[in-house]
A and B are shown apart, each in its own frame.
Chain A
Amino acid sequence: MKKRWGYCLLLAAACVAPTVLYPVLLMKILCFALFACSFNLLVGYAGLLSFGHAAFFGAAGYVAGYALKSWGVSTEAGLALGTLAGALIGLVMGALAIRRQGIYFTMITLALAQMLYFVFLQAPFAGGEDGLQGIPRGRLFGLVDLSNDLVLYFVILAISVGAFALIMRTIHSPFGEVLCAIRENEPRAISLGYQVDRYKMLAFVLSAALSGLAGAMKAMVLGFETLTDAHWSMSGLVVLMTLVGGLGTLFGPIVGALIIVLLEDKLGDIGNWLASVTGVNWFGTLGDSVTIVTGFIFIVCVLALRKGIVGEILALFKRIETARQREKFPRRRSDHAHQ
């Protein structure tokens, strides 16, 4: 019951958010939130760290952008094509990466994504260093004009909420439970008869498809697509968002995406403020040095904030709850079960 109220509250907050922040910024946050959530599905629940998710994000953006611009398809067709592109690339990448475990898996995803980056760098349709410019938003269902930012915002919100719901449903399904089992003890899962590779593939492709949807949406919202979206630093960024928010938590990636996108947006201002407060002029250039700040946050998170913000909050609740239980039922020493 409490959960339902919580979700309604979130939805209400999302609906009034345009009064506080610009719709375009909000849409950017939503796209990255979806990107991070779909990434989290793979790393937090299936336990597979992919460092190549930019491949899906960028490829979908290029495909959707090209379709919307050069073929003039309707909005939903463009997004669908982007999602499909993500899924297909995910299929190929997953099939190769899954052949190795652990850290090798991660390195393979990174390498394959880099290969795709070079493809986009050289492919004529992608526009090279300039990327795709002037991507139209198209007409939703061929009818609704999306040039109004606010209208587009609610469309994107609806799609995002639908996608989040899909992810949540997946996590709480038997499929999701098997994924968790695979993450915790793969040999055990295999010995129980699960075709582990199939589960991993399905999770991978699903994650890739939804990342593609996020990428396609972003390309459409912002109206351009560049190589940055296919670069390994973008793969790193989505890892950071998920880490900051909380690996393996439902809402962690959303929180993480919110923080990182806002941070990037306001970094110039923060830098100037720091410069005026400390008198160190170098802070003024902080706006150009997003990577330094990103790297710093990475290091701090890995060393001190491993569970992420949402993870730490959940752990705090758990500690409070355990303390409360202990008060109600104090344990006697002889009841301790020893191993």
Chain B
Amino acid sequence: MEIFGLPIQALMSQLLLGLVNGSFYAMLSLGLAVIFGLLNVINFAHGTLYMLGAFLAWTGLNYLGIGYWWMLVLAPVVVGLFGVLIEKTMLRWLYKLDHLYGLLLTFGLTLMIEGLFRSVFGVSGQPYPVPDALDGVTNLGFMMLPNYRAWVVAASLVICFSTWFVIEKTRLGSSLRAGTENPKMVEAFGINVPLMVTATYGFGVALAAIAGVLAAPVIQVSPLMGSNVIIVVFAVVVIGGMGSILGSILTGLGLGVIEGLTRVFYPELSATVVFIVMAIVLIVRPAGLFGKEK
């Protein structure tokens, strides 16, 4: 069977891969948006911490005998704590300043961490095996579904929508939303806002780390994987805006799918299609797709 001159298997396979990438874009732009909302800082280091999550998984497997499932929990905790350290020692001095300083600091962190990893591991990617339970494919009739990729998409959707639920529908989330709007007022009610800020940063980067662990079996674990993805995530964030959680998730997924489809029909454009979409959105809808500008 063929659609647009392509066997349906190939099309569906690329679509799934697009969804996989889209899941990573969604999780990363979600973390970025949550951090930006409360801290007013664009966390350039987000990509690097995603890479850190993947490397922790790889290190865990190859040096400590800790498998995938444990690392799925352990990596975000470690990276989250690292994020707490960054926030408490460096970021918190910058809140009163122009938010470009937050970007510059996290940019510096990215350079340092990535440089360190590059000097130790080089630039080539390390392979990470798919965990046994998710190995293999399932025959769906119209296509062969790689189990691991299905898992990635499913897990990401669960994580993203749980985050959305907590932020939009719970009391904790309303503290966060109020804090995003007026942190001083929230503090005047007795809520420990500095703690909330630190925890939010830790949570945001933990999300990136989980994405990293999920990505490890799909993408080669390399020190460059962070910076390769972060700029695309920036474009995703420009397209979707950072004011809406749901917007970030949908935009990320959507762009992943568009990228996947482009890889099928116009492979030369696949690296830049997200940026082209960004340019189009800027011309047609300058405020972004879900524009709720700050």
Contacts and interface: CB of A to CB of B under 8 A. Distances in A.
A292 B112 contact: yes
A108 B111 contact: no
Contacts of A243: 104
B104 A302 contact: yes
Contacts of B101: 302, 306
A175 interface: no
Contacts of B103: 49, 51, 103, 106
B234 A303 contact: no
A232 B278 contact: no
Contacts of B286: 99-100
A291 B110 CA distance: 9
B186 interface: no
Contact of B111 (A97, A110, A292, A306): A292
Contacts of B108: 294-299, 301-302
Given A96-B283, A103-B103, A295-B110, A111 B234 contact: yes
B119 interface: yes
A189 interface: no
A303 B89 CA distance: 10
Given A49-B100, A288-B119, A107 B235 contact: yes
Contacts of B278: 108, 111-112
Interface in B98-125: 99-101, 103-105, 107-116, 118-119
Interface residues of B, number: 43
A114 B111 contact: no
B268 interface: yes
A104 interface: yes
Interface in B43-98: 90, 93-94, 97
A96 B239 CA distance: 12
B228 to A, nearest CB: 10
Given A107-B234, A107-B238, A292-B119, A299 B275 contact: no
A239 interface: yes
Interface in B200-256: 227, 231-232, 234-235, 237-238
Contact of A103 (B93, B99, B283, B288): B99
Contact of B268 (A106, A122, A239, A302): A122
A96 B276 CA distance: 11
Given A110-B231, A115-B275, A289-B119, A296 B112 contact: yes
Nearest to A122: B268
Nearest to A231: B227
Given A107-B238, A302-B101, A303-B105, A291 B231 contact: no
B12 interface: no
Contacts of A51: 103
Contacts of A291: 111-112, 114-115, 118
B105 A299 contact: yes
Nearest to B112: A295
Nearest to A304: B93
B112 to A, nearest CB: 3
Interface string B253-270: 000000000000000100
A111 B36 CA distance: 18
A297 B108 CA distance: 8
Contact of B279 (A49, A112, A114, A297): A112
Contacts of A107: 42, 234-235, 237-238
Interface string A220-261: 000000000000110010010001000000000000000000
Interface of A: 49, 51, 96-97, 99-100, 102-104, 106-108, 110-112, 114-115, 118-119, 122, 232-233, 236, 239, 243, 285, 288-292, 294-299, 301-303, 306
Interface of B: 36, 42, 90, 93-94, 97, 99-101, 103-105, 107-116, 118-119, 227, 231-232, 234-235, 237-238, 268, 271-272, 274-276, 278-279, 282-283, 286, 288
Of all A-B residue pairs in the complex, the 6 with the closest CB atoms, nearest first, are A298-B108, A295-B111, A295-B112, A292-B115, A291-B115, A115-B275
20 contacts: A103-B36, A103-B42, A103-B103, A107-B234, A111-B278, A112-B278, A114-B231, A115-B272, A119-B272, A236-B107, A236-B111, A289-B116, A291-B115, A292-B111, A295-B108, A295-B109, A295-B112, A298-B105, A301-B104, A301-B108
